[in-house]
């Protein structure tokens, strides 16, 4: 069996990156002798736990500098990368997560490994453009430092193969001149058995947003849309926590003006999909730059309709009007119109939801392995 190093600055099944890491482990372990570098998870002989970054943690402890989110992220990823680079040796393959593997990728190539960079976002420059513009609206620092951008661009250049999570993400690389032969689209698998089908038994028309409440996720465009709705029993629940003071202050003002807006800073996977998606009427995912968007896939697997943008990777799964809706980014009016339509046509909720759940039956682990493992073996 071929040997493979796999690294990601995440804990399996914790957050979006952690869920992607978990899927990678499950998808590759039958075909490769895996050694995994990560931040935590269940102890296993094939898993190397990387210690937390002292530099990143130190910044987070002091009020005056904890707002330097871009530096915290940079130090965390750079220290993780340095730890991995010092410990890998000869193998057939090395795969590292984007922004976290510039040094270890170079070390792997010196040891004769073929290399893959796993990109969970869109192209970094596309992502950074959206992040900077939307963060400026709230007066907060982006999370991506220029040094991080430089590391990521180096990873793109050095890797033998770039894995992306969607055709949407692949297009952002094509726009930058990357050859299609260097890009592989490997859409994450979904286990439908993990999701109880929604019954639509709630008395309220509940609109849900799930994920980081960050400017580039476009949550504020959803709030604008919801505030303009003329629905007596409407409710908007933001499942997640704000990552900055500017966003927190904005949310306080919005909640004071409209008490039907609710923030629930919880971990959705711990609370339970049925409690979040199963009690929602519709999920809105208005992201401006998203390599995939697990919330979209999870909502569809639960059997509720989704409204998302064409800048979200999981929009690949949506046939507009059949199993959900796709709107342009930053289009509050488009979101509002579709919410009004669904609220006025409850039977359409069930129809779209059934079609969405049917779509998710195709995203099996077997399909993921057949596509991705074959490509890895070819390099």
In a shared domain, residues 178 and 233: no
In a shared domain, residues 210 and 335: yes
In a shared domain, residues 166 and 215: no
In a shared domain, residues 49 and 94: yes
Which of 294, 289, 147 is closest to 218 using CA atoms? 289
In a shared domain, residues 297 and 255: yes
In a shared domain, residues 244 and 156: no
In a shared domain, residues 261 and 345: yes
Q: What is the pLDDT of residue 339?
A: 98
In a shared domain, residues 233 and 354: yes
Task: Return the CATH number at 271.
Answer: 3.40.50.2000
Q: Are 263 and 238 in contact (CB under 8 A)?
A: yes
Q: What is the pLDDT of residue 61?
A: 67
Query: Is 374 buried (19+), middle (13-18) or exposed (0-12) by CB count in 10 A?
Result: exposed
Q: What is the pLDDT of residue 66?
A: 61
pTM of the full predicted structure?
Answer: 0.94
In a shared domain, residues 308 and 285: yes
**Cα separation, 109 vs 5, whole angstroms:** 12
Structure tokens at 191: 């286990």
In a shared domain, residues 7 and 62: yes
Structure tokens at 153: 């661009």
**Cα separation, 360 vs 96, whole angstroms:** 27
Q: What is the pLDDT of residue 166?
A: 97
Q: Are 349 and 342 in contact (CB under 8 A)?
A: yes
Query: Is 277 buried (19+), middle (13-18) or exposed (0-12) by CB count in 10 A?
Result: buried
In a shared domain, residues 117 and 134: yes
Strands 306-309, 161-164: pairing is unpaired
Q: What is the pLDDT of residues 306-350, one digit of tens each?
A: 999 999 999 999 999 999 999 999 999 999 999 999 999 999 999
In a shared domain, residues 66 and 173: yes
Q: Give the count of beta carbons closer than 10 Å to the beta carbon of residue 61.
A: 8
Report how far apart, in Å, the C-alpha atoms of 354 and of each of 6, 199, 276 are: 36, 11, 18
Q: Print the domain residue range for 33.
A: 2-189+364-378
**pLDDT (tens place) for every residue of the chain, 379 residues total:** 899 999 999 999 998 999 999 999 999 999 999 999 999 766 556 899 999 887 777 666 666 556 677 888 889 999 999 999 999 999 999 999 999 999 999 999 999 999 999 999 999 999 999 999 999 999 998 888 899 999 999 999 999 999 999 999 999 999 999 999 999 999 999 999 999 999 999 999 999 999 999 999 999 999 999 999 989 899 999 999 998 899 999 999 999 999 999 999 998 988 999 999 999 999 999 999 999 999 999 999 999 999 999 999 999 999 999 999 999 999 999 999 999 999 999 999 999 999 999 999 999 999 999 999 999 998 8
**Cα separation, 343 vs 284, whole angstroms:** 14
**Cα separation, 30 vs 119, whole angstroms:** 22
């Amino acid at each position: 069996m071929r040997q493979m190093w796999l690294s990601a600055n995440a804990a399996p099944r914790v957050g979006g990156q952690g869920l992607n890491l978990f899927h990678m482990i499950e998808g590759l372990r039958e075909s490769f002798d895996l050694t995994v570098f990560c931040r935590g998870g269940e102890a296993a002989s094939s898993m190397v736990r990387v210690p937390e970054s002292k530099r990143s943690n130190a910044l987070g402890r002091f009020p005056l500098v904890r707002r330097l989110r871009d530096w915290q992220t940079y130090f965390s990823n750079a220290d993780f990368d340095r730890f991995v680079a010092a410990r890998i040796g000869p193998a057939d393959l090395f795969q590292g997560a984007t922004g976290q593997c510039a040094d270890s990728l170079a070390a792997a190539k010196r040891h004769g490994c073929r290399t893959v960079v796993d990109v969970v976002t869109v192209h970094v420059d596309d992502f950074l453009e959206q992040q900077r513009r939307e963060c400026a609206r709230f007066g907060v620092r982006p999370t991506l430092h220029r040094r991080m951008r430089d590391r990521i661009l180096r990873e793109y250049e050095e890797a033998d193969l770039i894995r992306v999570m969607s055709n949407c993400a692949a297009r952002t690389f094509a726009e930058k001149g990357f050859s299609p032969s260097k890009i592989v689209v490997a859409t994450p698998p979904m286990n439908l058995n993990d999701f109880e089908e929604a019954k639509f038994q709630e008395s309220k028309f509940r609109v849900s947003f799930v994920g980081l409440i960050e400017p580039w996720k476009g949550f504020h465009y959803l709030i604008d849309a919801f505030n303009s709705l003329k629905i007596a029993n409407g409710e908007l629940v933001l499942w997640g926590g704000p990552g900055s003071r500017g966003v927190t202050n904005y949310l306080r003002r919005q909640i004071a003006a409209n008490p039907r807006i609710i923030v629930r800073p919880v971990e959705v996977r711990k609370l339970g999909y049925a409690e979040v998606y199963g009690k929602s009427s519709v999920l809105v995912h208005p992201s401006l730059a998203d390599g995939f968007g697990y919330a979209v896939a999870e909502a569809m697997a639960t059997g509720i309709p989704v409204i998302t943008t064409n800048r979200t990777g999981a929009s690949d799964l949506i046939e507009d009007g059949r199993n959900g809706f796709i709107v342009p980014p930053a289009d509050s009016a488009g979101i509002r119109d579709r919410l009004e339509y669904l609220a006025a046509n409850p039977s359409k909720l069930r129809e779209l939801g059934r079609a969405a759940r049917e779509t998710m039956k195709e995203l099996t682990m077997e399909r993921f392995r057949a596509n991705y493992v074959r490509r890895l073996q070819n390099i």
